[in-house]
């Protein structure tokens, strides 16, 4: 039986640990036959990501601080040498200062707002600009978002504004890259216990609330996000672009 991503080359940005959604996606890509490269942000993360790459059987581990254009240029040049072509990119990167998540949105600092937008939103634009020339056969760029982009989620604050901007950026990129055969989509994941989610105050209460009210009466599992990412990166998703795919046990449809 053929695998859904057989013969494709993928780059996954944002793998931090084995509980991260990026790790689950990379694992699913490997399962479906893709060659996978991972990135790490700084030298202090290199050893940990290299260990995860070995677990996954990833082909490359490359440095990339998405806030530095020169590092994105260097990443593209390295990938141009090998594998030479990229078919799928996963952007699983978001950041906000803990103090800005821990206070009201009204009290968000100017610098904190700008930082969240730069790392969580503009990085998608910068990554797409750097890597689109390597997507010579078309392909898929997938980012990760959350319902807090369009609804007020307690304590999500500055990240909610960032995710709203990320979704708008995704749509503009989908429009501009479509003529090249490059599809750009977002997966809106339900709340999941990840290291980054723990920065959100009272996150466990959000998990309990969703599990009790979502149509499927449960929280989202990383594997569900990973399988959705496989679909979007595969030929099965060839007609899908500019979309937000909700993988949240159906919670987004609920009113009360």
> What residues are annotated to the active site?
146, 156
Under a CB-based contact definition with an 8 Å cutoff, are residues 21 and 189 in contact?
yes
Residues 6+ apart with CB under 8 A from 133: 76
What is the maximum span of the chain, computed from C-alpha positions, in angstroms?
55
3-state SS, the chain, equals CCCCCCCCEEEEECCCCCCCHHHHHHHHHHHCCCEEEEEECCHHHHHHHHHHHHHHCCCEEEECCCCCHHHHHHHHHHHHHCCCCCCEEEECCCCCCHHHHCCCHHHCCHHHHHHHHHHHHHHHHHHHHHHHHHCECEEEEEEEECHHHCCCCCCCCHHHHHHHHHHHHHHHHHHHHHHHCEEEEEEEECCCCCCCHHHCCCHHHHHHHHHHHCCCCCCCCHHHHHHHHHHHHCHHHCCCCCCEEEECCCHHHCCC
CA distance 188 to 167: 10
């Amino acid at each position: 039986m053929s695998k859904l991503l057989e013969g494709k080359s993928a780059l996954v940005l944002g793998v931090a640990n084995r509980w991260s959604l990026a790790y689950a996606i990379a694992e699913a890509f490997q399962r479906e036959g893709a060659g996978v490269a991972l990135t790490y942000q700084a030298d202090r993360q290199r050893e940990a990501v290299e260990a995860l790459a070995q677990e996954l059987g990833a082909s490359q581990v490359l440095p990339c601080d998405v806030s530095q254009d020169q590092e994105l240029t260097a990443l593209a040049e390295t990938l141009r040498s090998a594998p030479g072509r990229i078919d799928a990119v996963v952007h699983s990167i978001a950041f906000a200062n803990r103090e800005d998540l821990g206070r009201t949105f009204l009290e968000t600092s100017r610098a904190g707002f700008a930082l969240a937008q730069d790392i969580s939103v503009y990085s998608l634009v910068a990554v797409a600009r750097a890597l689109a020339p390597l997507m010579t056969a078309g392909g898929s760029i997938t980012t990760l978002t959350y319902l807090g982009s369009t609804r007020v989620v307690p304590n999500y604050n500055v990240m909610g504004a960032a995710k709203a901007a990320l979704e708008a950026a995704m749509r503009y990129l989908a429009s501009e890259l479509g003529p090249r055969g490059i599809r750009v989509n977002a997966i809106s994941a339900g709340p999941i216990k990840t290291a980054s989610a723990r920065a959100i105050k009272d996150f466990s209460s959000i998990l309990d609330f969703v599990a009790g009210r979502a149509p499927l009466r449960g929280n989202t599992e990383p594997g569900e996000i990973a399988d959705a990412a496989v679909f979007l990166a595969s030929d099965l998703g060839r007609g899908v672009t500019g979309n937000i795919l909700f993988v949240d046990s159906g919670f987004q449809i609920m009113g009360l």
